[in-house]
Structure 1
Amino acid sequence: MEWLAAAASDPRICKRQWHDEGGVAVLACGRFWDVLSVPEDLGVPALDALLCIPQPPGPALADAAARRVAFFLPPDPQGRWIGSGIRYAGRGAWIAVPAPHRVAGRLRWLVPPDGTGALFVPAAVELALQLALGRRATHGDPKRRCPMCGAPRARPLQRGTDGTG
């Protein structure tokens, strides 16, 4: 709890907010960590893949209402993550978080901060997201849009009902 609260401008107020009825504090990104937020249908399978590699995972937060998963990464002043539905929060951005090991409304930790300062490795997150994207493209709904560029996916070829195809 101390490590996460240290990102607040006043850690004591942050802890009080966590113990209040709402149970959420708003913390600054860019000092101890940045946050990469992705759609849940990419984030959950990516997190599953990340939890299989032999290194301590970083914190991961789920927003049930927005259907997003947020990965905590080392601060990156350039933050060059791009793609449809990808949101990167670095210096100057803020994120609402519940206390570790607590659910607060629509927010819950999928991997709570462990207090050591462990964060996800950006290259590993990128690879896990690419794998999840590939799986989604293979098994996904053909009506969906491309998550990288937002363009509609081509429909699979279907045999015509008039016997010509």
Structure 2
Amino acid sequence: MMTRRGLGWLSEAADLPERCREVWADDPRRPYALPTGRLFDVVVLEQRIGVETFDQLERHQMPVGPVMADWATRQIGFFLFPGSRAPFDRTLASESSEPPTYRYLGSNSLAVVPGPMPLSGDRYTWLRAPAKRLDNTPTHAVTLAAMLVAAHELVLRADRYGEALSRRTAGDSGKGTDRDQ
């Protein structure tokens, strides 16, 4: 659940912060389009990679800011301090020669964010709602990039295992066992 400080910080990113707070006072589930690059940037990942990245960050108690989900487009957005692109990209490049696909929303972009109190079935929800203003610490961007690469490799490995298992199972389906004969 979003804290009052988190709501205040997030609504300050709006072109008209008071209007944003009014909309959320009327309907706390309502998503709102906010410009990125002023108070936060957002790294957007495909859902499977994003959920695994978030899970690993949480499981290992690593630093992570707000994280949102757009279930209709199957995307996860990680909030970073504005201007974090350079350390994020640098870490990705050092961790992998083939980094996973992502979109980085900085200046001159918009992100549709969940309202302060979405319900579990809503299109836009928080995996981790804002609790306070983002800190200007490079560890968030570096940690996110490193865990993104690790999560991507884990998902790829799971996919390869699943494909191999399917091929073996399909190859065995035409053969009878002693009991079948």
After superposition, the CA RMSD in angstroms is 3.1
TM-score w.r.t. the length of structure 2 is 0.69
1:15-164 matches, cutoff 5 A: 15-20=21-26, 23-54=30-61, 56-76=63-83, 81=89, 85-103=101-119, 105-118=122-135, 121-141=140-160
**SS of the counterpart of 1:51?**
helix
**Alignment partners' CA distance in 1, 2:63 and 2:117:** 17
Which structure dedicates a bigger proportion of its chain to helix?
Answer: 2
Total equivalences in the alignment: 148
Alpha-carbon distance change, 135 to 54 in structure 1, aligned in 2, over 3 angstroms: closer
Please give the secondary structure, in 2, of the residue aligned with 1:61.
strand
Deviation, structure 1 residue 102? 2.3
Q: Deviation digits for residues 67-124 of structure 1, max 9, x if unmatched?
A: 1100001112756758564111100001111222324841000000002435871110
Alpha-carbon distance between aligned partners in 1 of 2:143 and 2:132, rounded to the nearest angstrom? 21
Residues 141, 63 of structure 1: CA spacing in aligned structure 2 closer, same or farther, 3 A cutoff? Answer: farther
Change (3 A) 1:61 1:15: same
- Scaled by the length of structure 1, the TM-score of the pair is 0.75
Any gaps of 5 or more consecutive residues in structure 1?
Answer: 145-155, 161-165
Which amino acid in structure 2 is aligned with residue 113 of structure 1?
Answer: P
Q: Work out the percentage of aligned pairs sharing the same amino acid.
A: 28
- The structure whose Rg is larger is 2
SS in 1 for 2:72: coil
Distance in 2, matches of 1:53 and 1:6, equals: 31
Contact 2:62 2:143 in 1 (8 A): no
Instruction: Say which SS state the counterpart of residue 115 (structure 1) adopts.
Output: coil
Label 1:130 to 1:55 Cα distance change in 2 as closer, same or farther (>3 A): closer
Report if the CA contact (8 A) 1:75-1:90 is conserved.
yes
Aligned letter for 2:11?
Answer: A
Q: Which has the higher contact order (CA 8 A, sep 6+)?
A: 2
Cα 1:32–1:14, aligned 2, differ >3 Å: closer, same or farther? same
- Asked if the contact 1:18–1:98 (Cα under 8 Å) also holds between the matched residues in 2, the reply is no
Q: For the structure 1 residues 126 and 56, does the alpha-carbon distance in structure 2 shift closer, same or farther, using more than 3 Å as the test?
A: closer
Deviations 1:25-44 (A, max 9, x none): 11110011100000011001
